[in-house]
Chain A
Amino acid sequence: METQPVTVITGTRKGIGRFLAQHYVERGHIVVGCSRGDVDWSLENYEHVQLDVADEDAVRDLFGRVRSYGRLDHLINNAGVAYMNHSLLTPGSTVSAILDTNVLGGFLFCREAARLMQRRRFGRIVNFTSAAVPLKLDGEAAYAASKAAVVTLTEVLARELGPLGVTVNAIGPGLVSTDLIRGLSDEKLEQVLARHAIPRLATLEEVAGVIDFLIAPESGIVTGQSIYLGGP
């Protein structure tokens, strides 16, 4: 069995996921990451799997590879898609695609990760929700609904997996300078920021700081929580 902690991170091709992959490799973890597209970067102690997070068979195959490390300590469920448009102009196929990645994909990763984690009665799962949930952002009905589902999933899984030594929490990273907010106009960006207690973009280091806390061995009693950067 590996002596280094093993961490699975979804959506590592770019943005927050890529940053977190590097962050945890630097901290001595073995990181298994994934994304739909291929990555144009590599790291020592990093293994990449190309998959769609909503493809159940592919997710099971990924965890089959994780099993060969003999342990799984952390899952960071970062993969997600955003879509911003008025509900009257949102096709059903878009809603399905958002739910597939953000809810079904998140669920499958939690399930497969917890199956491995429960063997050692230790595990940390961090899901990604969004400020769009508490702020009820207009223009993000389908996205916000999918992220509200992530909050509920987190809270129920916290109960189901708590007796198995696995904690499940969520982070709402607020607005971070990544591709996900590139679709926002400057005006919309200002409007959204103005609704936060701390009205500025979050840094990638600040996102990692919250995750460091949630996955720490000392955080074994912290579960079922959603932490929103920037405040309510």
Chain B
Amino acid sequence: MTTVWTSEKVFDEILLGLIEEVEEEVGEKIARDRETPLLGEGSALDSLAVVTFLVSVEEQIATEVGKEIRLVDERAMSRRSSPFRTLGSLSDHIEELL
């Protein structure tokens, strides 16, 4: 049976596992919350930390899900509401891609 990767499952099993790595990189605690911002005001991540986080997410999905996806493409970049705003919106975006 194929596993259904809902946004909640992505958040719990992919993103949360990578938060510690990000905390080490930015030297700051990050709330384990869907509303935690990734980009813009209130985000603990600088632009390079966002890039390496997204690369780690893709790698983790390749390992856990066995699927090679790319989070950033022209469609994702041209959306009015960026899928990279918060941990929650990123989880929704990944659910769509999977």
Question: Residues of A at under 8 Å CB distance from B?
Answer: 60, 64, 115, 118-119, 163-164
Do A60 and B48 contact each other (CB < 8 Å), given the known contacts A115-B55, A118-B55?
A: no
A201 to B21 Cα, complex, angstroms: 50
Residues of A within 8 A of B48 (CB): 163-164
Count how many chain B residues have C-beta atoms less than 8 Å from C-beta atoms of the other chain: 5
Residues of B within 8 A of A119 (CB): 59
Q: How many A-B residue pairs have CB under 8 A?
A: 10
10 A-B pairs with C-beta separation under 8 A: A60-B68, A64-B68, A115-B55, A115-B59, A118-B52, A118-B55, A119-B59, A163-B48, A164-B48, A164-B52
Residues of B within 8 A of A60 (CB): 68
B43-62 CB contact bits vs A (8 Å, 1 = yes)?
Answer: 00000100010010001000
In order of increasing CB-CB distance, the 3 nearest A-B pairs are: A115-B55, A163-B48, A118-B52
Question: Chain A binding site: helix, strand, loop or mixed by DSSP?
Answer: helix
Closest to B48 in A: A163
Closest to A114 in B: B55
Residues of A within 8 A of B68 (CB): 60, 64
New A-B contacts (7) at CB < 8 Å, excluding given A115-B55, A118-B55, A119-B59: A60-B68, A64-B68, A115-B59, A118-B52, A163-B48, A164-B48, A164-B52
A163 to B48 Cα, complex, angstroms: 8
Taking the closest CB of chain B, its distance from the CB of A223, in whole angstroms, is: 16
A64 to B67 Cα, complex, angstroms: 12
Residues of B within 8 A of A64 (CB): 68
Taking the closest CB of chain B, its distance from the CB of A192, in whole angstroms, is: 41
A119 to B56 Cα, complex, angstroms: 8
Closest to A57 in B: B68
